[in-house]
Structure 1
Amino acid sequence: MKKITIVLILLLTQISFAQSTADFFTKADAFFKTYVSNGKVKYSAIKKNPATLHELLDMASKIKVTQSKTNTFQAFYINAYNLAVIKGVVDKYPIKSPLNVKGFFDKTTYDIGGKATTLNDLENKILRKNFPSEARFHFVLVCAGLGCPPIIAEAYQPSTLKNQLQRQTVKALNNPNFIKVKGKKVQLSQIFEWYKVDFTRNGSEVDYVNKFRKEKIPSDAKVSYYSYDWSLNQIK
């Protein structure tokens, strides 16, 4: 009888976890659809009515996912990062840039997965460290600056994550405003400079970019980096 009770408790715990996680993804999807448009965020509207954002982050604080469920883990933390960025902006809004907020990325903490963590730690210690070969994270983690690839009006979902990662990476690396090619010269976003190790594990930066481009860049192209645009990605 004792064994049966333990099994039932475990099953109920798993069901509860699945339901809370599914609810998080569903509500996050509705939130992004409501407040994101054309790669920008309606911060002023969220500021006026932050209840849903607060609810989502409260849910995120109670959800604990394991790395063994790779898609769920990655999707959860990508969404959590993007929601935390929005929370960081909304708390200080109106601002012109996330850099106007001292410690925006490395001091301000959020309770995600039952642990207080900064945006830098979410990106570097939870996602990049645990999945070092997945450079596509850089095209879905949105830092609130216009220089970042655009935020999307939907949540990242475990069932569609790989397609979403691929879609957003292809979109960014074929965007002439993001990858600026002129003959045998190419200007890359400073994302490639800051996280060079992620893009050069199996070749050069150009090799990485060409994996996703329709029009290939010459392999001997001269690479430089254009200045990052930290202007807020807001809908005014």
Structure 2
Amino acid sequence: MRAMLFILGLVFQMAAAAQSFDQSHAAFSDVLSEHVTVYDDGLKSAVNYRELAKNRQPLDNYLSSLSAVETEQYESWTHEQQLAFLINAYNGFTLQLIIDNIDKFESGDADSIRDLGGLFSSPWEKSFVTLLGEKRTLDWVEHEKIRIDFDEPRIHAALVCAAVSCPKLRAEAFIGENLEAQLENQMVTFLSDRDKNGIDDKGIYLSKIFDWYREDFDGLRDYLTAYSRALSNGSGNGENMNFESLNIRFVDYNWELNNLENR
């Protein structure tokens, strides 16, 4: 009987813990809506890092709430809630990394996130992310957690590494209950951005993201067929194209900071 009561107590504790985390990620949405500017008919966005650095407490508080989540609590959530949590963590801690180094960007000592790495390591290998009970890296969040635990290629249109050529950073957080629609919108938007992806007289041109993570798309040409409208300006002209006959090339990646000045 005592063992049963103990087990029930643990179950109730886990349920209470799961409910205590704000799955709407409203605090992050507040930060994003205030500091992210969406432009080019909704296809791109830029971040006002200068103002975010001056008013960083809301972001720091939100990231602290992510860091407080324990593994058992995380594992009690739905698949969608887990993925939304990890995408927001990646994007949020990337913002923190930039404003932690805002003086380098202001002085001209850094032009992109790549300038924030060490002598023998990249910024994505820095252990500054506290998540699920341990110090982590951004690489761990993306490559060892998200890409391992979730078979979801659209995350490559949702994870934003603070560069001009990245997919746009949404002016709202990802949330579990809307995740399907948000991920689909991100991929359509990314492929509709003619500076990054499209079809021209030479064939299909794509962001280097599709080259770097080609294995995640399980047949890149087949995957792109489902997004032919986005690649062809939404006109529908791409729907009857034979993607097998089109050459694919990958365009150069612009690593400049995705701030207001570079939009």
Q: Is the 8 A contact 1:174 1:213 kept in 2?
A: no
Say which SS state the counterpart of residue 224 (structure 1) adopts: strand
Cα RMSD (Å) of the superposition? 1.9
Of Structure 1 and Structure 2, which has the larger fraction of its residues in helix?
A: 2
Greater CA drift, 133-142 or 64-73: 64-73
Gaps of 5+ in 2: 39-44, 106-110, 233-237
Query: 1:233–1:61: structure 2 CA closer, same or farther, 3 Å change rule?
Result: same
Residue type of the alignment partner of 1:153: A
Say which SS state the counterpart of residue 33 (structure 1) adopts: helix
Map 1:111-190; keep pairs closer than 5 Å: 111-131=130-150, 133-190=151-208
Say which SS state the counterpart of residue 85 (structure 1) adopts: helix
2:68 matched residue in structure 1? 62
How many equivalent residue pairs? 231
Counterpart-to-counterpart distance in 1, 2:180 and 2:57 = 30
Counterpart-to-counterpart distance in 1, 2:213 and 2:153 = 9
Q: Is the 8 A contact 2:37 2:171 kept in 1?
A: yes
Residue type of the alignment partner of 1:208: Y
Residue type of the alignment partner of 1:66: E
Question: Is 2:249 the counterpart of 1:224?
Answer: yes
Map 1:97-112; keep pairs closer than 5 Å: 97-102=112-117, 103-112=122-131
Shift of 1:179: 1.0
Residue type of the alignment partner of 1:15: A
Overall identity of the aligned pairs, in %: 26
Question: Is 2:68 the counterpart of 1:40?
Answer: no
Q: Is the 8 A contact 1:46 1:90 kept in 2?
A: yes
Shift of 1:16: 2.9
TM-score w.r.t. length of structure 1: 0.90
Residue type of the alignment partner of 1:85: T
Query: 1:56–1:30: structure 2 CA closer, same or farther, 3 Å change rule?
Result: same
2:17 matched residue in structure 1? 16
Residue type of the alignment partner of 2:48: K
Query: 1:56–1:177: structure 2 CA closer, same or farther, 3 Å change rule?
Result: same
Q: Is the 8 A contact 1:78 1:156 kept in 2?
A: yes
Counterpart-to-counterpart distance in 1, 2:145 and 2:204 = 31
Q: Is the 8 A contact 1:180 1:186 kept in 2?
A: yes
Question: Is 2:227 the counterpart of 1:209?
Answer: no
Gaps of 5+ in 1: none
Shift of 1:7: 2.1
Say which SS state the counterpart of residue 177 (structure 2) adopts: coil
Shift of 1:56: 1.2
Instruction: Point out 4+ residue stretches in structure 1 off by more than 6 angstroms.
Output: none
Residue type of the alignment partner of 1:71: E
